[in-house]
Amino acid sequence: MRRGILWAIGRIGEKNPELVAEAVPEVEELLQDPDPEVRGYAAWALGKLGVPSAGLNDMLADEAEIELWDQGRLMHPTVGALAREALKRSEAAIGLEPTTC
């Protein structure tokens, strides 16, 4: 169920981040979840929100592959790839030059 909730937070946050801003601390906690699906969806949701999180840096080497529906298609990214994308989006949201990971 957490995966679905994280997906909803990301989708809502993409259009209206203020509606889900209160959930950010809980989403950040889920970056440490033992389930790779939950970690991946948490990183994806933070990326959609453009929220910088130090926890994303710890996930860059996570090679667990998950299943994610995004941009109208079913994808199979790694958790690390989702963390990298989230970091890029958050850096762009606050006006920083993207780092190379």
Range of the domain at 63: 2-93
pLDDT above 70 for 57: yes
pLDDT above 60 for 99: no
**Mean pLDDT, residues 20-39 taken together:** 96
Give domain status of residue 99, yes or no: no
Distance CA 16, CA 99 (A): 26
Taking alpha carbons only, the member of 19, 76, 22 closest to residue 44 is 76
User: What does the pLDDT read at residue 48?
Assistant: 93
- Over residues 74-98, the pLDDT tens digits come to 999 999 999 999 999 888 876 655 4
Which pTM value belongs to this model?
A: 0.87
CATH number for the domain harbouring residue 85: 1.25.10.10
Give domain status of residue 18, yes or no: yes
Whether the CB-CB separation of 41 and 10 falls below 8 Å is answered with: yes
